[in-house]
Amino acid sequence: MDLNPSQGENYANPKICFFHVLFKAGALAFYILSALFFDSFVIIFVVTVLLSALDFWVVKNVSGRILVGLRWWNEIDDNGESVWKFECLDQESLARMNKKDSWLFWWTLYLTAVVWIFFGIFSLIRFQADYLLVVGVCLTLSIANIVGFTKCRKDAKKQIQQFASQTIANRFSSTIQSAFSVV
Amino acid sequence: MSYSERDTVPLNQSSQSDIDEIENLINYTVQSGPATVLPARPPSPPRASIPVSSSPFLPSNLPPPPQKPPSVPAASPPPSTNGQQQSNMTGFGSPPNTLTEPVWDTVKRDLSRIVSNLKLVVIPNPFREDPGKALRDWDLWGPFFFIVFLGLILSWSASVKKSEVFAVAFALLATGAIILTLNVLLLGGHIIFFQSLSLLGYCLFPLDIGALICMLKDNVILKIVVVCLTLAWSSWAAYPFISMAVNPRRKALALYPVMLMYVSVGFLIIAID
């Protein structure tokens, strides 16, 4: 993973990046600051979990598709078995993806989960079961997205390798064929 | 991480055309059968213009957009296998659309899925005969909203300790649903974990309505009547799905905890003051 995105290249989808970060940051900020303004735990819970759920949806359906060209979902087939499906754009489009976009995508994804874990430990130490519940829900949503997209990316890489090896195999066989035809 | 390797794969002119060729071949050959990882070619403008709408929600499992309304998977077995195959084929053909569709389409698709799931579960309809197929398109957004809604109403009706009431209601319902699902699975039942969670959440809808009515009218007799009615409705909604999932001799073992949970929620609604 690049530690520094390539310079001189701007975000290709600034609005999407903005929304990708907005709900994550909103959930975290609300969680931290709400204790100062709101007495009622209910509001804190509902708003934080709502923002987290919104973020989950946005990442899964919008920014995953647009920033990194990946998508994952679950289907139930005819036999009643649950099947996890992963989908990615083809190689050209993947190569065309903006590096800064995907850098932002992956880093914020991992970072949010780490911050939620940190908050969870914090509330565990303070024996606050309610806040632990909130953190638990938000953490579950973050981790679900991380696992889904990481698996999706691995599948995409496998596919790239398959394509590459097929390219090599095809070129090889075509050169051999042309060699034989000449002979 | 190997992320950087992907970034530095060079695509020179000849390999690019080779890749195009290969993809065309694959597109033609794969149409005879589905693949689990679907390479998707976007339509000719490589990036669709995205009207960004910030509507909430949805834990998604998003199947490729079905060409027919979502109640199709619940059709009787012979047509459904054909339908499934067709949706697989069209599913392969349409991944470009799901990967590059406008945001608004995704939102509408998810919202309509919630409504259709709700209708399948709580309203009498012929698809309930085959429960395994009825909730094929499970989603967790409906249950999430129903649980939060119920918690909010209970919390609002309570005159003291509102926060505790909400937290308890939410935790009770969420862990209750998980434990009930585990119960069915451990009894040797054939149900998918998320499908069952989704079902138990949707069956909470009648109790939501009951709680709303009870909050608005404070008469005890009315509360009891309303809660009993909605409880019966919830149980009726949940019954076929759970009973079909397990061995007939163990039906009662699977159903009893479900009834217990709904009854306890009913008591919470009545007893809240």
Tens digit of each residue's pLDDT (9 = 90 or more) over B215-247? 888 888 899 999 999 999 888 888 888 877 788
Q: Which of B1, B19, B148 sits opposite A163 (nearest CB)?
A: B19
B170-200 b/e with 16+ CB inside 10 Å = b? bbbbbebbeebbebbbeeebebbebbbbbbb
Strand A82-89, strand B37-40: pairing:
parallel
B55-69 b/e with 16+ CB inside 10 Å = b? ebbbbbbbbbbbeee
Do the Cβ atoms of B166 and A76 come within 8 Å?
Answer: no
> Model confidence at B161, in pLDDT bands (50, 70, 90)?
confident
Summarised one tens digit per residue, pLDDT across range B170-223 is: 888 999 999 998 988 888 877 888 888 888 899 899 999 999 998 888 888 899
B31 vs A117, higher pLDDT: A117
* Residue B118: how many other CB atoms lie within 10 Å: 14
Residue of B nearest to A69 (CA): B99
Contact B63, A73 (CB under 8 A): yes
| Cα separation, B113 vs A152, whole angstroms | 24
Summarised one tens digit per residue, pLDDT across range A106-124 is: 889 999 999 999 999 988 9
Q: Using a CB–CB cutoff of 8 Å, tell me whether B46 touches chain A.
A: yes
Structure confidence at residue A39 (pLDDT): 75
Q: Using a CB–CB cutoff of 8 Å, tell me whether B162 touches chain A.
A: yes
Contact B147, B201 (CB under 8 A): yes
Q: Which of A46, A75, A106 sits opposite B152 (nearest CB)?
A: A46
pTM of the model: 0.69
Write down the ipTM of this complex: 0.76
Structure confidence at residue A142 (pLDDT): 93
* Residue B47: how many other CB atoms lie within 10 Å: 13
> Does residue B249 carry a pLDDT above 60?
yes
Within 218-247 of B, beta carbons closer than 8 Å to A belong to none
